[in-house]
Amino acid sequence: MGNICTKFGGLQIKSPIIVGSNSQTASVSKLVEFEKAGAGAVVLKSLFEESITREVAANDIDMHPEAYDYLAGYLGEKVLSDYLDLIKQAKAQCSIPVIASIACHTDGKWEEFATRIEEAGADALELNVMSLCTARNYTPGDFEKMHEDIVANVSSRIRIPVIVKIGSNLSNPVALCDRLYAKGAKAVVLFNRFYPTDIDVDKIAFTTGNPFTCAADLSLPLRWAGLVSSAVPAVDLAVSGGVDSWKGVVKSILSGASAVEVASPIIRGGASWISEANDGLEKWQQEKGYESVNDYKGKLNAAEPENADKLMRTQFLKYFSEVH
């Protein structure tokens, strides 16, 4: 069989398929299944900033500010210690890298959490920084600067690789990835996914949209992987969003990603999706005469002017006259 090992954020992984953070990666028995099916690594369900604030809010009674601080600290500690247990159990049961994840949208006290996560044995820490910036008095660039500050603060405190998962609602992911790398990020995941909202027209009310992606969603991360990998080759990339078969894995690597972080098809199809995608990838590599992932990684990224033209194209212009 071919060699599909790769390196992502300083981690040596036996397959570019990483199970992205999702509800199933909070279960150690699922993690074991994913490893058996051939996953290169797993990202644990995120520790959410909101979980901590919600715990505090749920216990909120009219109290003295110092008592409030004490309670907030206690509840934060409870949420964190449950998460540290998950890391320890995952590390005890799995031999593939276990990546912890913090989902944050403010520059909170993540340094302390990150240190504890490192001590619990996580192989890397993924910071999922995502927020909708809607304030009218917002200064463009503030949100990007917050990413940099969080990464700088966390990476100065821990030695395990720091991976940053960014949202697609950023003006220039190339510049941001460059800065995040300068602040200590070893890898960036393109992109996180917003919780989907929808509207029920019968009830005339909001409802939850489809939580899962489809193959068409791959277009956006592919474009940015192609642009970022050529401009900032030092930072490793993972594509996340719309990788629905081995072809999506190949496309991501051709665009310059080292790995993919996959959730929807694994939640829908089970761990066997991973072994099928690994098989498809190996077969394709053999047919094309490639010996390793590095042989074709970035082959279609923006380093070639011809590819850059394709990746930079934003308007449909002649689409309808060309195709129809």
Name the residue type at position 150: I
Of these, 11, 17, 79, 101, which contacts ligand FMN (CB under 6 A)? Answer: 101
Bond into 191 cis (ω within 30)? yes
* Cα dihedral 99/112/232/241 (nearest 10): 40
322 burial via Cβ count (<10 Å: 0-12, 13-18, 19+): exposed
- Binding range to ligand FMN, per CB under 6 A, among 196-204, 259-267, 282-290, 300-308: 259-267
Question: What are the structure tokens assigned to 173, written together?
Answer: 């992911």
Question: Cα(first)–Cα(last) distance of the chain, in Å?
Answer: 43
CB of 213 to ligand FMN, least distance (A): 3
CA dihedral 209, 104, 226, 2 (to 10 degrees): -90
94 interacts with ligand FMN by CB under 6 A: no
Spatial CA neighbour of 39 closest among 290, 319, 297, 270: 270
Written as six digits, the tokens of 210 are 């489809």
What residues numbered 126-145 form the site for ligand FMN, per CB under 6 A? 128
* Contact between 155 and ligand FMN per CB under 6 A: no
31 is a site residue for ligand FMN (CB under 6 A): no
- 15-23, 52-60, 86-94, 141-149 -> range binding ligand FMN (CB under 6 A): 15-23
Q: Yes or no: say if 117 and 98 are a contact pair by the CB < 8 Å rule.
A: no
Task: Please choose, out of 110-118, 180-188, 206-214, 270-278, the segment that lies near ligand FMN by the rule CB under 6 A.
Answer: 206-214
Site string for ligand FMN, 37-56 (x = CB under 6 A): --------xx----------
Residue 300: CB minimum distance to ligand FMN, A? 20
Shortest Å, Cβ 221 to ligand FMN: 9
- Smaller CB separation from ligand FMN, 87 or 307: 87
Shortest distance (Å) from residue 194 CB to ligand FMN? 10
Instruction: Tell me the three state secondary structure of residue 162.
Output: strand
Task: Establish if 243 lies at the interface with ligand FMN (CB under 6 A).
Answer: yes
For residues 256 and 228, the answer to whether their CB atoms sit within 8 Å is yes
9 binds ligand FMN (CB under 6 A): no
Q: Give the nearer residue to ligand FMN in terms of CB position, either 221 or 226.
A: 221
Question: What are the distances in angstroms from CA 311 to CA 106, 165, 188, 189?
Answer: 32, 21, 19, 18
| Contact residues for 277 (Cβ-Cβ < 8 A; gap 6+) | 17, 245, 246, 249, 262
For ligand FMN, the binding residue among 262, 277, 293, 302 (CB under 6 A) is: 262
Return the number of the residue (38 or 241) whose C-beta is nearest ligand FMN.
241
Kindly report the length of the chain.
324
d(CA 44, CA 22): 7
Among 30, 105, 147, 193, binds ligand FMN (CB under 6 A): 193
Q: What angle do CA 229, 164, 27 make, to 5 degrees?
A: 120
C-beta of 207 vs 286, nearer to ligand FMN: 207
Q: What tokens does 146 get?
A: 């917050």
Residue 252 sits in the site that holds ligand FMN (CB under 6 A): no
The reply on whether position 255 binds ligand FMN by CB under 6 A is: no
The residue among 113 and 307 lying less far from ligand FMN, judged by its C-beta, is 113
Residues in contact with ligand FMN by the rule CB under 6 A: 20-23, 45-46, 101, 103, 128, 165, 192-193, 211-213, 240-243, 261-264, 267
